[in-house]
Structure formats: structure tokens, C-alpha cells
Amino acid sequence: MTWVQAVLLILALSLVPGPPAAAAVLADDVGYWYADIYEDFFGPDDAPGGEAFLVNRRPASRSSRFPRRKAPGTYRVFLVGGSVAHSFEDWPGDGTPPARAAGRLTLAGALARLVPGRKVELINCGMPGYDSYRESLVLDEVLRLEPDLVILMSGNNDLIASAGPPPRSFVLGLRLRRLLRLPPPRLEAREADDNPGELARRTARFDANLRGMVRAAVARMVPIVLCALPRRLGQPPTGALPLRDKGFFAGWLAWERRGYPEAERHFKDYIARNPRDSTAYHALGRILESMGDRAGALAAFRLSQTLEIDAVVRRTAREEGAPLADLEGAFERAAGGPRLEGLLYDRVHWHRFADPIVSLAVAEALAPRPGLSPETALPGAFRPDPVELEETYWLRAAAAVRESLLMPSGSQPDKGRFNEGAVGLFEALWKESPDAAAELPGRKEFLIRLEREKGLHIGPSEDLAGLWPSALAHAAEACARLGRWDPALRLFDEALRLEPRFPYALLRRSVALHRAGRAPEAEAGFAGLREAAWWIAEIDFYREALFPRRTKPAPGK
């Protein structure tokens, strides 16, 4: 080995971090995030006679094939964005719309009414997990391919830790590892910090990237539509409830006891002291909603959004003169309000039966009167499709399982506590089909297989088996919050059978027992939590509140 090869080998090997902890969140394919983004998205078709055509070459991209030189009479449209773009009009199975979707408005159909006599050629370049920096690289290539229109769905991923350009040294090292046929490094993929300075920096970077994309399109005289994306405001943010704080705990205990005015007072006091706690705003929203204050609840839900992406999109569209497709407003009108639980199955992704809402909003952004109306253009779009809900139930359950692995860990102040984002997803599944949700313990291998069959894993997919008790415990907590004690306790029991040293599951099981009227069993559960009380403060808070006569007085009292 020459000295040059040795240096290169040392550089490549230096990218390998130490082995992660068991609960670490891992990205499966580092090359997807840091190397593939600099390769061509499209390339020539290698099939015989395919030299005149381009096909998708990017791993995990949607299948596409189109002429290198645009045919006369063609209206070529590129859709660029993250996972919401990638999944758009992509039905389960082979992606072909089922017979029941016949007659629904498609994006190509909506655009065809705006350019009569031309054939719309829609090419989907959406990529799961891409942030605005990676999308800008895709756009650079797209603008060289004779586009007539670009539609940009950007912003959902600009807060994740991988957002933005990677260090050049890292990219070089990763390429060297590939050249030397070494396995890629395994990196932890965590949410980015949400301190005010970091949020301001990421917001400014997203704003700059968005403006850069608009100006690049304008320089090529290509219209670009910006999309204000919908959010399911009823979905809790990723993170734990701050029950370690005695004031917030008092509000949560009042909420569990249905003392809503008292809970509201405690939550507002906590928020006054901690104005950036997104989970607290969401908890306040639920209280206000329970009290019938719809406007106040929605305001609180909006404040629970860590980064207000749509405000940046709207401002950029206005100041740069780009058409704005107001998907956020269109979804809120279609759903009768901004919680969007019937149209979105998680925080940002919508069901396929809602795709026509997007198609109409894009058409309206390009032409104020596109010759379409919700009544004639969106047959069935405003109602959930029961067949699609049934077909996708376990895919959504797999997503909830994956989200449940994002429990705070390590030195985080809420380590070991449940992730409210996962509890919210499981709660929706319980509401939709209690019988199906109760089958979760027996679906372990099936759900893990669903996750393994995904072409790309973003997040903690490889440790689904090892952290299965966490999924069961989150599902149990969601069930308990709906007052369904028996199935909730069965799930807690199964989680603790698999992982007896799971103090937070034992805590929430004990609370559920007490709320179900089984106080002696609950007290026995708390007896097994004494060793964990030093780092889970709410154990003692609950013990004092639920068993006040059994709490020993402090020395000297």
C-alpha cells in the first residue's frame, strides 16, 4: 500500500463513529443523504433503442421515462419536493389508481384544461426526506430538461439534523469508502436542536434556498409554483410531555381528572415560564378543545409547530412574484377545519383520496378560474375512502411503531419518557379501528417485514425488533387516554413481560390501573418504581396525588 492509499484509507475509516447505544436512531443509508444527491437524477435509458430517452437513476426515486428532447405539443411538468411529492398520486401496490378512483381529478388532468391542445407530461422528482438544499440540486438538473412548469413542495424536512449541505470532507470520505468497497458508516439521525438561535438559522437557510430556487427558475423563464403545505394540527409534536415540572404535572393531573379549567390555568402558567415548549402548547390545545374553545385550541395547536414553514413559503411567493398553491387553505376548507384528521394520516402526509385537492389548488394558482370547481372536479375527495383506510391501516401502524422508537434518551432531560408523536398516531389508529389496534401484539413480525420491505429506511428501522416493547407501551398509553382500560392494560402487561425493566411503562400502567378503579393494584405498581423515582420526578408526584395518606411526611414535620 502506498502512502497515498494509506492516507485515503485513514480518512475513510475516520468517518466511522463508535457503536451506537441500543436505543439510538440510525439512518440506514448514509449514501442516500450525502453522496447520491450529487449524482445525476436522470440518465439515458440503457434498454435497446432507449438512447433518446431519460430514466430515473436516483435510488428510491419514482419510476419515470421521457424523451430527452421534448416532443412538439408537450407540456412538460416536474414535481420537486420531499416525501409528500414522492407519494403524490402513488397508490398502494404498483401505483396504479384503483377502479374506484376513476373520474377523480388528477394533476395532469387539471393542467390539461389550462393548456388545451397540448399533452401534459408529468415527471415526479419527489424524494423522501429531502430538504430544500437537496431539492435545489434536483431543480438545477430539472431546469436543463426543457420544463414548461415546476411545482415545488418544500419545507417539511428543513428541521431534521441532516438538512443543509454536508461537510465536503465527509462527502469525500464517503466516496473513498465506496471506492475502497468499505461499508458505509452508521450515523445517528436525530431531530435538530430547537433552541431559538438554531431555529432562526434554519428558517433563514430555508428562506434563502427557496428564493434561490425561484430565481433560478425565473432566470430560465420557467414558471415555478410554490406550495403552502398542509399540517395535521391535531397531531402532537415529537417529544415528551414535561411532566418533570410540578406545575405542568398539576395541569396534566387535572386534565386526567377532567378538571379542564384548572388544567388550562396550570398549562398557561407553565407556558409563560417555558414559551418554546411545543408539547405544552399542544396539551393546552387539547384542553381548550375539550372545553369547546375551538378557536383557542387551533391557535394553541399552531403554536405547537416548531418551525412555521408555510409563513416563509407565502412570503417568498409574494415577494418573488411566484404563483402560490395554497394547499394548507384548500385542505382546511375541504376538512371543515385545520385539524385535518380525516385527510392526513400523520403530521404532514395526506391520503391518496385527497390528491385531487392538491390538483385543484395548483390549477387555481396558475389560473384564477381554471374551469374547475370543487363540486365537479373532486368527486369523493372530501370524504375518507374506507377501502384505502383499510388497505393502509397496517402501513400507518408501522409508521406509529417507528415513531415510538424516538423516545428521549441519553442525557436528554425527558429520557425514558414516551414520545407524544407516537401516542398521537396510535390514538388515531385506536379511534379508527379498535379491533385492529388490539391485534398489535400478534403483528410484530408482519410490521417489521413491512418496514424492511421499504426501499428506503429513514430513522430507527433496524431496531424495530429490539425496541418492540416501546411500541406496545405507546399503543397502550394511547388506548388508556381514550378510557379503554382492558385493552390498554393488556398491552402494558405484554410490554412489561418482554421488558420488565421499563419504568415508564410501569408508571403509566399504574396510573391507568388507578383511573380504572383498581387502586390496590396501582399502589403495588408504584412500589416497584422507587428506584426510578430519582430520575423520573413524576413518579413521586403521582404517588403524592393518588395515595396522599400513604406518603411519608418529611423529617421534622
Per-domain boundaries in the chain? 65-151+195-235+308-383, 388-550
Please identify, in words, the CATH class of the domain defined by 388-550: mainly alpha
Helix (H) or strand (E) holding 67: strand 65-67
Which residues in the chain show pLDDT less than 70?
Answer: 1-29, 93-95, 184-196, 306-307, 368-382, 408-412, 454-463, 550-557
Tens of pLDDT, residue by residue over 225-239, are 999 999 988 889 888
CATH label, 65-151+195-235+308-383, candidates 3.30.1360.30, 3.90.1170.50, 3.90.1150.10, 3.40.50.1110: 3.40.50.1110
Report whether 111 contacts 149 (CB < 8 A): yes
In the prediction, which pLDDT does 193 show? 56
Instruction: HSE, CB side, 13 Å, CA atoms: give it for residue 9.
Output: 8
Burial of 60 (0-12, 13-18, 19+ CB in 10 A): middle
| Alpha-carbon gap, residue 267 to 244, rounded angstroms | 13
Q: pLDDT digits over 312-354, tens only?
A: 999 999 999 999 999 999 998 888 777 787 889 888 999 999 9
Cα–Cα distance for residue pair 379/447, rounded to 1 Å: 33
Instruction: Count CB-CB contacts under 10 A for residue 175.
Output: 15
From CA 425, how far away is CA 400, in angstroms rounded? 6
Q: Which residue has the cell 410484530?
A: 444
Alpha-carbon span 516 to 381, nearest angstrom: 40
pLDDT of residue 2: 58
How confident is the model at residue 194, as a pLDDT? 61
pLDDT attached to residue 380: 45
> In which element (H, E) is residue 288 found?
helix 278-290
pLDDT at 143: 98
Q: pLDDT value at position 552? A: 54
Q: What is the pLDDT of residue 323?
A: 96
pLDDT of residue 327: 95
* Residue appearing with cell numbers 497515498: 4
* Residue 55 CB contacts under 8 Å (≥ 6 apart), including other chains: 42, 43, 44, 45, 63, 64, 65
SS3 411: coil
Q: How many residues does the chain have?
A: 557
pLDDT at 4: 46
Q: What is the pLDDT of residue 254?
A: 97
Terminal-residue alpha carbon distance, the chain: 76
Nearest-5° angle of CA 534, CA 540, CA 545?
170
Are 472 and 440 a contacting pair, CB within 8 Å?
Answer: yes
Residue in 268, 135, 285 with CA at minimum distance from that of residue 213: 135
**pLDDT score at 408:** 65
CA distance 468 to 402: 10
**C-beta contacts of 497-505 below 8 A and 24+ residues apart:** 498/468, 498/469, 498/472, 499/469, 502/469, 502/470, 502/473, 503/416, 503/529, 503/531, 503/532, 503/536, 503/539, 504/416, 504/417, 504/418, 504/473, 504/536, 505/469, 505/473, 505/476
Gyration radius of the chain over CA positions: 25
Q: What sign does the dihedral 168-412-241-513 (CA atoms) show? A: positive
pLDDT of residue 14: 45
Number of neighbouring beta carbons within 10 Å of residue 8: 18
> Which residues 6+ apart lie within 8 Å of 264 measured at CB?
251, 284, 287, 288, 291
In 102-223, beta strands by DSSP E: 119-124, 149-153, 187-188
Measuring CA to CA, which residue among 298, 287, 376, 367 is closest to residue 332? 298
pLDDT on residue 418: 95
Burial 66-102 (b: 16+ CB within 10 A, else e): beeeeeeebbbbbbbbbbbbbbbbbbeeeeeeeeebe
pLDDT of res. 407: 74
